[in-house]
Amino acid sequence: MESGVSVFKLIQKFAARTVVPVEVDDVVDFIRRLGVRDEIYFWDADISPSVLQAAITHWDYPADGAGKVRTVADIHTARNLPLNDKRVAQVKELLHILDPEHFLVNTIEDVRALMEKIVLPPDLVDWANDGVHANSDRAAIVHALAVLFPWQTRQLLLDPFKAGKKTLDEIADLVALPADYVQFVMSDIWVQLHEAMVGPQRMRWPAKVTTLEADDSPIEVYSVPLGDDPYSYARKMHEKNHMRGPISSFRIESGGVERTLSISEITDYKSPTRS
């Protein structure tokens, strides 16, 4: 498993989501699909949130059978941490399981430069004076926010927010995140920051169409020819009966966004150039 790609895939998976809040269990389920085999447990800990919000501990122990080992990840969260803060802290630690080296190498300087331009939540302030570990932690918070506050949800809320029809507190309640983090994601800088996170991988990978069974397990994966509209490509493949069944739905991965469409949605799809 290439860890950087996994974090990208995680952000991509939730980018098109408009049903919020994103549950921590949803994130756990998807990282298992990415190949994580750790047993993951969440624990409340009697620690002060002002000292430590959350921490992850990895350990192995022998399982039944000769030479078999069970790998465990324990995520401890401060017992008195407010629920919305706890969600961010837990997903941040889940991302440490993936160890997002790709993002640390490719975007940490860009992230730091962008963050100097805006008023930040306290957890994201001192990039210049802290070490690699602290900055890795901050990068994980940014990635966690990209998962917990999906891109498409942000886009739907942006105009009502700018028009004063949705307040910061109302959006915070909707996505179940702290208001200061919501303000951060709703700021103009988030557009550049999101691009810094997904852009390098989006440039590397072609659009894909995956046929799915009823339980969402994949049947076949197709790479879309460069320049083709992936939705039209999926529709044409279905019309020509080139895909093996029984097909329940299609997963489209394109431009840093992943969507799942039913057969009827694919067959009804009209490309931008069709009347």
The residue ranking higher by pLDDT, 85 or 124, is 85
In this prediction, residues 50-60 reach a mean pLDDT of 86
189-217 tens-digit pLDDT: 888 888 877 765 554 556 788 888 888 88
pLDDT band at 242 (very low <50, low <70, confident <90, very high): low
pLDDT band at 254 (very low <50, low <70, confident <90, very high): confident
Whole-model pTM: value is: 0.66
Sequence-separated contacts (24+) of 134-139 with Cβ below 8 Å: 135/108, 136/104, 137/92, 138/111, 139/100, 139/103, 139/104, 139/107, 139/108, 139/111
Specify the pLDDT at position 207: 79
Domain definitions of the chain by residue range: 3-204, 208-268
93-108 tens-digit pLDDT: 898 887 544 444 344 4
114-157 tens-digit pLDDT: 444 444 566 565 544 544 444 566 778 888 999 999 998 999 99
Q: Are 235 and 266 within 8 A, CB to CB?
A: yes
Residues of the chain above pLDDT 90, percent: 28
The neighbouring-strand residues paired with 49 are none
The residue ranking higher by pLDDT, 71 or 272, is 71
pLDDT band at 179 (very low <50, low <70, confident <90, very high): very high
Total residues belonging to the chain: 275
What is the rounded CA–CA span in Å between residue 200 and residue 179? 29
